[in-house]
Amino acid sequence: MRLLIRSWNLYHGRTHPPSADLHLEQMVRVVTADAPDAVALQEVPLWAVRRLEAWSGMSASWAMTMPALLGPLARRVTDRDPRRFRSSFTGQANALLVNPHLEAGRHRRVVLNPGLSRSDWLLRGGQRRVCHALELETAAGRVMVANLHASNSPDRRLVGEEIRRAAAFLADAGRCVLCGDFNVRRHTVPGFTEPIGGIDQVLVRGLDVARGPEAWPEERRTVDGVVLSDHAPVEAVVRWTS
């Protein structure tokens, strides 16, 4: 039994370098075109979370990290100027997409920066950092797939503490794949496979890694002459140990 797992920070659908257009639907279709088993997404605008299933053909679960300050008007504003307006207007979520051939079980989450006040989160554009996870039932057994987006902070100790909270949250999952944007390079998580270079990771515990993890080359995320996102998708193929 093998599973193809991917992780991608969608950058709210923006290109790199930023252009006047958003490409969110195109990004979701590109990263799911070959029917991976699970995809972890970060920086998904809130208006898009209910469209993920239609765009991908996969089941979707999400965890809100920032509310949309402009409510239903947010998408119109960001469409006008995506280089200027982003998460504080549209809101933001992390999402997990699962191939329909797998049965998704319990969805749970933990806030990684619990010191963020509710007023800072709801009224002042503060961002909750969240790890959320899904139990997946496969023909070979159960596996947990988790998705995190850690703080973008120069304080490595703060980011490290968030990642430790995520690891503690997943401590009871024997077979686990931890994906996401760690916002710190090559951060090792005890008990998991070693990280690759960069901040985007797919880490594995209790399973063999048949291929990867590896980041997509830039040309694989270049469509109609533009590079999608300022992050590259990272993917790995995992398999059950004998």
Output the pLDDT for position 75. Answer: 52
Averaged pLDDT of the chain: 91
Cβ atoms of 9 and 231 within 8 Å: the answer is yes
Judged against a pLDDT cut of 90, whether residue 108 lies above it is answered with yes
Judged against a pLDDT cut of 60, whether residue 172 lies above it is answered with yes
pTM of the model: 0.91
Q: Residue 163, Cβ neighbours under 10 Å: how many?
A: 24
Output the pLDDT for position 72. Answer: 52
Output the pLDDT for position 18. Answer: 86
Output the pLDDT for position 203. Answer: 98
Output the pLDDT for position 241. Answer: 81
Output the pLDDT for position 116. Answer: 81
| Domains defined along the chain, listed by start | 2-239 (3.60.10.10)
% pLDDT > 70, the chain = 89
Task: Work out whether strand 234-239 and strand 208-215 pair parallel, antiparallel, or are unpaired.
Answer: antiparallel
Lowest mean pLDDT among 80-89, 136-145, 179-188, 211-220: 80-89
Output the pLDDT for position 113. Answer: 94
% pLDDT > 90, the chain = 80
Lowest mean pLDDT among 35-44, 99-108, 114-123, 224-233: 114-123
Cβ atoms of 122 and 66 within 8 Å: the answer is no
Lowest mean pLDDT among 20-34, 62-76, 130-144, 198-212: 62-76
Q: Which residues pair with 136 in a beta bridge?
A: 104, 143
Judged against a pLDDT cut of 90, whether residue 81 lies above it is answered with no
Average pLDDT over residues 81-96: 70
Q: Residue 230, Cβ neighbours under 10 Å: how many?
A: 13
Cβ atoms of 193 and 199 within 8 Å: the answer is no
Judged against a pLDDT cut of 70, whether residue 97 lies above it is answered with yes
Predicted confidence band at 123 (pLDDT cuts at 50, 70, 90)?
low
Predicted confidence band at 201 (pLDDT cuts at 50, 70, 90)?
very high
Output the pLDDT for position 169. Answer: 98
Average pLDDT over residues 131-160: 95
Task: Work out whether strand 92-98 and strand 59-66 pair parallel, antiparallel, or are unpaired.
Answer: antiparallel
